[in-house]
Structure 1
Amino acid sequence: MTRHNRSRRGCVPALKFHSLTRFFDPVMRVAFREGPMKARLVSQMAPRPGQTVLDLGCGTGTLAILLKQAEPRARVVGLDADRRILVIARAKAAAAHVDIEWDHGMAHDLPYPDGAFDAVVASLVLHHLSHEEKVQALRDVRRVLRPGGSFHAADFGVPRTASMRALARLGALLEETQDGIEGRFPSLFRDAGLDNVEETADYATPLGTIAVWRAGIA
């Protein structure tokens, strides 16, 4: 996912420079234990035939592709603010022979009508947003979910050890991780109108604790 520049409401690449985008996938695999975390998200979401699923801040498309492979009869949409990273996502999907819709747009200003999706997932996206953008993005997630829909997220969570706390303090200097490491995500989800909020897993990574959540709407 692309980081949003609060001062200009624009964006910069997830690794800060377009020249580094080609390293995005290796960084995700090593720094964030992407494999186990995204496998957990796919299992948790359990897409079904005919469902429409949004991968919010899809990056290079890894999770969207996994979701489509898990249920080819689901409609999977990937959205990101970085047009260049979407080029990579399209190429990966073509190589995997899966049909995914790729859209350009901002997480806090979703270009979709109300009730467009059965499920929305945000994997390592929310920490790229300012607090105000997180609030707006989550409200928009609630808006685009259908009744009975579900929201799934993976992002920085409360550090479990002293070493994780030290990493978290360092990370907070570089990204908008404070809401995550101080345990505010569940309340942000509820404030946006989501309910049945549950933390389902956490992972110790070289960059800090990554938590996985699930929520829904009535």
Structure 2
Amino acid sequence: MTTIQIIDGRTESDRGRDFLPGMGRTWLLPLYDLFTRFARVGALHERTVELAGIESGETVLDVGCGTANLSFAVLRAVPGAVVTGHDPDAGALRIAARKAGRRGVRLSLVRGYADRLLPEDGSVDHVVSSLALHHVDDAGREGFGREAHRILRPGGRVTIVDFGAPDHGPGHDHGHRHGGSRQARPPVAGIVGLLTTAGFTDAREIDHIEHRFGPITIVQATR
């Protein structure tokens, strides 16, 4: 069994920052992978990887990786990719590390927040994220946009899959039911907007999927 190390990429000011766990409650984490299988999230991951256009040897940062299911989808499709999962949830990363060890795959894991990414400027080919940005507040999402732009090489791509209907202009309702209560999700137009503000010139919606838990949209931009 391969041993996978988890790097702590947090700054001193990051320690103690709050985050919203993948299932909304820390005690539900052991059920996360079972829930995602029931929800057929794997198909979303496969579609995201397909649209990202990742090639062997390219570097991929999976932001908000949780237990690394999108990272594993990348590695299944492109075994030669160099993948790093990034998430603030130490418990989720420990599960990801155990899964990677059992599978014998090469996967790096970093504990940190979406608005403080570890890679150096222009050093990453792809940034991907699945069903994670709706857990991040406005400032964190804006910081993620800036960080994604900073770390991507020229020609590198960011591909994001998250809850949200296609943008139908002002007044469209992008809320949904989650965990029994209504919570605000960022409109997909908001993700396009934050990437544009960060410096991406071609941020756009590239696919829409009707999922059992609501509409899903995939957004992509090129550095």
Same fold (TM over 0.5): yes
Match for residue 196 of structure 1 among 202, 210, 215: 202
Aligned to 1:23: 31
Specify the SS of the correspondent of 2:65: coil
Aligned to 1:3: none
For the structure 1 residues 122 and 175, does the alpha-carbon distance in structure 2 shift closer, same or farther, using more than 3 Å as the test?
farther
1:159–1:208 contact (8 Å) kept in structure 2: no
Aligned to 1:5: none
For the structure 1 residues 199 and 167, does the alpha-carbon distance in structure 2 shift closer, same or farther, using more than 3 Å as the test?
closer
Percent identity between matched residues is 32
Aligned to 1:209: 215
Q: Does 1:73 align with 2:71?
A: no
Map of 1:149-160 to 2, 5 A cutoff? Answer: 149-158=156-165
Alignment TM-score, normalising by the size of structure 2: 0.82
The amino acid that maps onto 1:78 is G
Number of aligned residue pairs = 203
The amino acid that maps onto 1:126 is L
Aligned to 2:89: 82
Quote how far apart the aligned CAs of 1:205 are: 2.3
Q: Does 1:119 align with 2:118?
A: no
Quote how far apart the aligned CAs of 1:175 are: 4.2
Aligned to 2:55: 48
Alignment TM-score, normalising by the size of structure 1: 0.84
Aligned to 2:149: 142
Specify the SS of the correspondent of 1:184: helix
Which structure carries more helix by proportion? 1
1:69–1:98 contact (8 Å) kept in structure 2: no
Unaligned runs of 5+ in 1: 1-7
Specify the SS of the correspondent of 2:79: coil
The amino acid that maps onto 1:168 is G
The amino acid that maps onto 1:215 is A
Specify the SS of the correspondent of 2:55: coil
Deviations 1:5-62 (A, max 9, x none): xxx732242223222101112222334x412211111111232222111001111111
Specify the SS of the correspondent of 2:162: strand
Q: Which whole-Å CA distance do the structure 2 matches of 1:76 and 1:198 have between them?
A: 24
The amino acid that maps onto 1:187 is G
Aligned to 2:11: none
Unaligned runs of 5+ in 2: 1-15
**Structure 1 segments of 4 or more deviating over 4 A?**
173-176
Quote how far apart the aligned CAs of 1:91 are: 1.2
Specify the SS of the correspondent of 1:43: helix
2:19–2:135 contact (8 Å) kept in structure 1: no
